[in-house]
Structure formats: C-alpha cells, structure tokens
Amino acid sequence: MNKNAVNEKKLNQNILEDAEKRFARKTPPMRLLAGILDASFVLSLAAIIAFTAGLPLANNGGMRDASLTVTATLYLSGLYEVNENDSVVVIDSKDKYPKALYYYYVDRVNQDTNELVRGMSPLLDESKSHNSVDDYYDYILLRNSPDSPFDFTMPLDEEKPWLIAIKEGKSEEAENLYKTNFASALDHLYLNESLVKATYKFYQMLFLALASSFVIAGVLLLVLLPLATKDGVTAGQRFTKTTLANKYGFRLTKAQAFYRGLSTLILYYVLFILPISFVSLILMAATKTQASIVDRISLTVVLDKNASVVYANAEEARFYNIKRAKNIVRMRHQSEDGEIEN
C-alpha cells in the first residue's frame, strides 16, 4: 500500500472517529415505533387513494362487471340465495337442498321460444343435450335404484316437483343423499368457465387497485416526502425526534435520502411477506452499530435528533470546529487574565 493510500485510510478513520463522538444513536424501540407510525401512515393514505381513485378506476376497468357476473351466476345456479343483508350466500339449510338441486340440474323452458335452455350443471345423460326432470330423478335421486330412499310410487306435486316422498325409515339416507349431491353440485358450479373467468377478473382488478394504491402511498411517504425535509426523515421519524446522517456524520444528500427511502419501500413494504423487518430488528438490537439492513445498504446512521450533531458537509464541520476552537482559546485567555488580576 503506497503512502497516499495509507494517509487516505488514516484520514477516513479520523473522520469516522470524530463522527462517532457526535453520534447518539436512536434506540431500537424508538426506531420500531417510528416504523409502526410510518406503516400506519402508509396504510391510511393507501386506503384513501384506493377508495378515491384505485377502486373507481378498477370498476371502470371491468371489476364491477366481473362482480355482477359472479353474483348473477351464483344466484341463478339455484345453489345460492339472498340473505337478510342483501348478499348472495350459499344455501346452508338442508330443508332447501331439494329445491336448490332441482333448479340447478333441471334445464328450464324459455317462455318465449318454448325451448329448453341449457343451465350450468353438467349433463346427467351424455347422450342428451339437456337435463330433463326425469334425468334428475334417475341420476340424482336414484329413482330406478332399489337403494333410493325416495318413494316414487306416490303422486308428484306438479307445483313443487322437487318434493319427493321419502320411504319410511329412510329420512337419514335421503338427507345424506341431498347433502352429498349438493356438495357435488357446488364443486361443479365452481368449475363453470364463465364463473371462473369473472372471479379471476374481479380479484385481478381488486389486487391491482389495492397494490397500486399501496405502492403509490409508499412512494409518496417513504421516498418523496423525505426529499422535502432537511435531514431526509419520514413522518414517523419526525414524530419520534429522529434524524439521519451518512456514516461520516454529515447530512444526507437528496440522492442518498432517495436511495434510503426506495430501499425501505422495497425491502419492508413490497417484500413484506419476507422476514426482512424481523431480521433488521434483530440486527439493530444485537449489533454495536445498531444498523438495520437498510442502514447497511444505504450507508446511513439513525440518530437521536436532540442529542446528536449532524453537519451539512465537511466544510460546515470545519467552520464550526474552528469557531469552537476560537471560543475555547478566548475563554482560556479570559480565565488567565482573571487569574493575573487576582
């Protein structure tokens, strides 16, 4: 190593040692509090952005139409009903299973054309193009099977053709058959192509609306807001009396503040499913420098604003050091003059 490199290394070490004397690092609990506050601010702003812009744009982009398609498909299947809150929910009453299954499987007649309209259920008889009432009785209620719990010798109710008499002592078997067929019908319904496409479209647009609102809020509060402050801090850090400096104890440049904010956004917010925040908390609590992952990446130090001295640059540090030295000399002279007079 040449002489210039050695001198540069010594100078760098002196600068770092001088900076350490001016540092009063923010404690991990206070840094955690600042992080929680920032997360709260980001989520609150994200909610505002989502409700005022994100979701309306998503609705215009097809989310509302997809939602209506899903709701209509579920309701028209016969397996769902409207509850007291005007929400479409799956039927959960065993007493309603007979009517629900009948309407799901039996294809109905179009009143205008007098033709059968294909429903959403699978074909019970692959040799036919529609499901008839007889197909429903034969394949779902097992009319021609000796194991059927239903008594088809009894007269059928033309107004309520789904109500079939149950053989004596076969109530439990009938209930289980309805329950099994209802679960199977739901499985078939959820594979309906139009329902699958509409559901995917709805959740895709909802995710894009919420995710974009979240990222925009993060960019505004974690990346851009610090650029508008003198020391590059976030709102949470401002509330906790925190300031930032580079490793030499000087104020962050706009580029450094931007880089730190972007690192925070990506590591702690975009990649929130990874345990990066937990690892950072451990590093802050267990290491001497109390540096988090973001601190190590951006080469920054998180300090107590009230107990630290952060210069704008080396020139400002030199100016105040000279001024401080002059004050010390003046005070010493005044003290010596006072001793001589005495």
For 308, other C-beta atoms within 10 Å of its C-beta total 20
Cβ-based burial of 340 (10 A; exposed 0-12, middle 13-18, buried ≥19): exposed
Give the pLDDT of residue 74.
94
Residue 77: both structure tokens together: 């299947």
Cα–Cα distances in angstroms (integers) from residue 168 to residues 6, 98, 142, 147, 176, in the given order: 101, 18, 16, 13, 15
Give the whole-angstrom CA distance, residue 91 versus residue 93: 6
C-alpha dihedral, 280 to 282 to 286 to 288, nearest 10°: 10
Q: Which residues of the chain have pLDDT under 70?
A: 1-20, 314, 316-342
Give the pLDDT of residue 6.
47
C-alpha dihedral, 268 to 273 to 274 to 278, nearest 10°: 60
Give tens-digit pLDDT for 137-157. 999 999 999 889 999 988 888
Query: How large is the C-alpha radius of gyration of the chain?
Result: 37
Q: Is 225 left (phi over 0), alpha (psi -120 to 50) or beta?
A: alpha
Give the pLDDT of residue 285.
87
Cα–Cα distances in angstroms (integers) from residue 58 to residues 35, 45, 63, in the given order: 30, 18, 6
Cβ-based burial of 229 (10 A; exposed 0-12, middle 13-18, buried ≥19): middle
Give the whole-angstrom CA distance, residue 118 versus residue 126: 13
